[in-house]
């Protein structure tokens, strides 16, 4: 069914392109040139057979677009493109975040730069200045 709608969709696209290209240009592109009455901005415009065909093809094109979208959503399910990668096929599925090895986590004292006195730890190398009284 999806292939039939897809073929119809492609035929409608080609027909829509050809009907639009066959139509007579009215006033040039983007409002340049042209002039006179009966242009795009006028309220009365002759409904030619090509204009009617354009509307019919455009409506059918949108209907087939929506139909293809609905069919694709129904066939998609809960799978993902990433499920088909080689890494996803070999790795077991995990329900939570990956565990962090304990021997790989650096201690807080290892993250501090070495102090000038050679001590390691969280104590500052020089004593802090006493707070000022009043301001």
Q: What is the pLDDT of residues 17-38, one digit of tens each?
A: 999 998 877 765 555 555 555 5
Q: What is the pLDDT of residue 18?
A: 93
Counting as low any pLDDT under 50, the low residues of the chain are 43-44
Q: What is the pLDDT of residue 116?
A: 72
Q: What is the pLDDT of residue 48?
A: 82
Domain map (residue ranges) of the chain: 1-23+50-75
37-41: Cβ within 8 A, 24+ apart: none
How many angstroms separate the CA atoms of 60 and 11, rounded? Answer: 11
């Amino acid at each position: 069914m999806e292939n039939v709608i897809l073929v119809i969709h492609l035929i409608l696209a080609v027909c829509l392109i050809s009907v639009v290209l066959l139509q007579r240009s009215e006033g040039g592109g983007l409002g340049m040139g042209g002039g006179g009455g009966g242009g795009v901005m006028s309220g009365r415009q002759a409904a030619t057979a090509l204009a009617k065909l354009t509307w019919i093809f455009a409506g059918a094109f949108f209907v087939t677009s929506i139909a293809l979208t609905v069919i694709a959503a129904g066939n998609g399910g809960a799978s993902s493109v990433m499920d088909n990668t080689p890494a996803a096929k070999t790795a077991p599925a995990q329900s939570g975040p990956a565990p962090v090895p304990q021997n790989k986590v650096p201690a807080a004292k290892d993250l501090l730069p070495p102090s000038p006195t050679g001590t390691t730890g969280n104590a500052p190398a020089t004593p802090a200045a006493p707070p000022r009284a009043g301001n």
